[in-house]
Amino acid sequence: MVDTSVILSGIKMDNPVIPASGTFGFGYEFANIYDINCLGTFSFKGTTRDERFGNPTPRIAECPEGMLNSVGLQNPGVQRVISEELPKLKECFHKKVMANVSGFSVEDYAYTCEKLDGESQIGWFEVNISCPNVHGGGLAFGTSAKNAAEVTKAVKKVTTKPVFIKLSPNVTDIVEIAKACESEGAGGVSLINTLLGMRIDLKTKKPILANKMGGFSGPAIKPVALRMVYQVYDAVKIPIIGMGGISTAEDVIEMMLAGATAVQVGAQNLVDPFACKNIIDNLPKVMEKYKINSLTEIIGGAHNG
């Protein structure tokens, strides 16, 4: 009998599979089609201090081996998440959930995290300093080690739960930024967020996305994500949540060998709403195929020898 469980910042998860923020709503939508308690956990819809409508449409563009999105952090704001979304989630999900938080200033991040910190169902924070789809925040923090450290320090002052900082691949040296977050008390790092990309409509000769550029995700970015997880694992002592192009149980194992303790599935949820369930169902068979008895034992295994 193989062991699919992992421990993420002191919290045991039945498996390392986590639907990524922005691809799983607040969970109860997916609970209508399968029992989401099979998940390790999930990262809920990116939440900001105030309600956001998001970017103008069109927000989505298809690409070979992936997709572009520029949703722009549409969400009801932290107060309504607490009063409306979390009570509905509690009815269908009986594990700790990951709270994804975004902001446009250091004060925004701290305010939203402080408000959510008292919610018992939240087990971890995932602080998104790397969204490429908003102006005046997000990516501006994620591309500077100094700014990333400042956000980490501010959030840590007002929270009692593990804080994972979600990092951008749109940088020269992701290792430097991960180390800066670790130095200010981050409990872990999540990587990678989407790559910045665009598409142009040949008929109109204009960008397809109203925002012109957006976040590129899907299978095509997996080699980049693996490389960055591998590099960061060598540089920090805190756990890593790996993501980027994950669509199979084999992808999960590959990401864990690179150094991830847990793995997020993003774009694939939009292609197949059963993606995470299927990955979890297939994990034991794939582990047996590759003679893996425990997932915990393979974390960072590609660094040995």
Domain presence at residue 205: no
Name the domain count of the chain.
1
Domain presence at residue 201: no
Token pair in block for residue 21: 């923020």
Domain boundaries, position 140: 6-55+66-196+215-303
DSSP state of 62: E
The CATH number linked to 91 is 3.20.20.70
Using CB atoms within 10 Å of the CB of residue 15, give its burial: 0 to 12 exposed, 13 to 18 middle, 19+ buried.
Answer: buried
Give the helix/strand (H/E) hosting 80: helix 78-80
pTM of the model: 0.96
Helical H segments across 173-303, by residue range: 174-183, 222-235, 249-258, 267-271, 275-289
Distance of CA 108 to the CA centre of its chain: 19
Domain presence at residue 255: yes
Residue 234: strand, helix, or coil: helix
Task: Name the residue among 281, 286, 287, 245 with its Cα closest to residue 35.
Answer: 281
Domain presence at residue 174: yes
Residues 6+ apart with CB under 8 A from 166: 100, 126, 127, 128, 129, 130, 142, 189, 190, 191, 193
Give the pLDDT confidence score for residue 305 in this predicted structure.
63
Residue 30: strand, helix, or coil: helix
Domain presence at residue 271: yes
Domain presence at residue 89: yes
Residues pairing with 122 in the sheet: 97
Give the pLDDT confidence score for residue 130 in this predicted structure.
75
Domain presence at residue 61: no
Count of C-beta atoms within a 10 Å radius of residue 265: 26
Domain presence at residue 203: no
Under 8 Å between Cβ of 217 and 194: yes
Give the pLDDT confidence score for residue 132 in this predicted structure.
58
Q: Which of 113, 131, 181, 276 is catalytic?
A: 131
Token pair in block for residue 191: 């990587």
Q: Is 63 assigned a catalytic role?
A: no
Give the pLDDT confidence score for residue 44 in this predicted structure.
97
Regions of the chain short of the pLDDT cut 70 = 131-140, 305
